[in-house]
A and B are shown apart, each in its own frame.
Chain A
Amino acid sequence: MYQFNVHRIGPEIKLGDIDISFTNASLFMVISSVAILIIFNLGSKKNSLVPSKIQLLAELSYSFVSKMISDTAGSKAKPYFAFIFSLFMFVLFCNMFGMIPYSFTVTSHIIVTFVLAAFIFIGVTVIGFIKHGFGYLKLFVPSGVPMILLPLIVVIEIISYLSRPISLSVRLFANMMAGHTMMKVFGGFVVSLGIIGGWLPLSFSVALTGLEILVAFLQAYVFAILTCIYLNDALNLHH
């Protein structure tokens, strides 16, 4: 499908054997980052008591993320607010820009979401080891387990810990790709059924567009909230 194709824009740039040319994926990442920067610069430039629309937007998203962090990870996670906020905004804007026709959805590629998830995974693990030292390994040894079962339980816990970045990245990628594919399929039905039978799939794809916008927001939210949950595990070790 053409909408998922990554192609080069401009000249080919090579760093050794690695192709680092500017692609349409990088273009849309740049567009969403710049959009975020513009909105939040304009929103925080003038601190009027009665906020303008753009200031309201910036303040609402700030308090939304701040509340999400304090709800799930407690007050200890406050220093990581900047990271989670930019993560949430980046994923949200990438998802939302993908909803514009003829645009490119960055998050519908597993490598993009996996890199984000791998960063979170490594970061959270490093934070856990810094905060608790080798005591962080207690995460893999639940209390109250008989000695005979311990080796098996530890293996299971390690696998479930390692599955975090996979589940985090696959969820975002699969939801975005499945939604866009579904819309493409229904769009194809409209064309093939013609003017008589095409109205039903057309109404379906209108409804799906609404659903996709919901999913785009929800997946960004889930991505951020799971980062908070993992951060909570690393900060407040309880086993």
Chain B
Amino acid sequence: MPKDTIKTRLEIAKKKYDKKNLEKNSQSSSKLGLAFKMSTELVAAVLVGTIIGFILDNWFGTKPWLILIFFFVGVVAGIVNVIKTAKNMQK
């Protein structure tokens, strides 16, 4: 068998292998990352919302109201985060 055909065959096989490997890896690994992302993002958004509400309350002197509103906005933001991540996972 001439050298060239072996070379091309080797290259084709290598490409196939790379492709397969890439698909397998990107599926398992980045999804694991996304799963970890979801778990804390829900909590973090609530925390950030509450902190923003607390700061704004201190600025405007409207003690309990803004912290309440921003707490719920934070909850919504957390849920939106999780939905976004889940949508990305489905793609």
Contact = CB atoms under 8 A, between A and B. Distances in A.
Query: Are A and B a genuine interacting pair, yes or no?
Result: yes
Contacts of B43: 167, 170
Interface string B65-91: 000001001101110110000000000
Interface in A150-206: 152, 155-157, 159-160, 162-164, 166-167, 170-171, 174
A174 B44 CA distance: 12
Interface of B: 22, 25-26, 29-30, 32-33, 36-37, 39-41, 43-45, 47-49, 52, 70, 73-74, 76-78, 80-81
A163 B45 contact: yes
Nearest to B33: A225
A39 interface: no
Interface of A: 67-68, 71-72, 152, 155-157, 159-160, 162-164, 166-167, 170-171, 174, 218-219, 221-222, 225-226, 229
Nearest to A170: B40
Given A159-B52, A163-B44, A171-B40, A225 B80 contact: no
Nearest to B37: A226
Contacts of A226: 33, 36-37
A67 B29 CA distance: 11
Contacts of B41: 160, 163, 167
A176 B43 CA distance: 18
Contacts of A166: 44, 47-48
Given A68-B29, A170-B43, A163 B77 contact: yes
Leading 9 A-B pairs by shortest Cβ distance: A167-B44, A225-B33, A166-B44, A163-B44, A159-B77, A163-B45, A167-B40, A163-B48, A171-B40
A221 B25 CA distance: 13
A175 B63 CA distance: 35
Contacts of B40: 167, 170-171, 174
Given A159-B52, A160-B41, A170-B44, 19 more contacts: A67-B25, A71-B26, A72-B30, A155-B73, A159-B45, A159-B48, A159-B49, A160-B81, A162-B52, A163-B45, A166-B44, A166-B48, A167-B41, A167-B43, A171-B36, A174-B40, A225-B29, A225-B30, A229-B37
A229 B70 CA distance: 27
Contact of B78 (A72, A155, A163): A163
Given A155-B73, A156-B76, A166-B48, A171 B39 contact: yes
Contacts of A229: 33, 37
A167 B33 CA distance: 13
A156 B33 contact: no
A219 B36 CA distance: 9
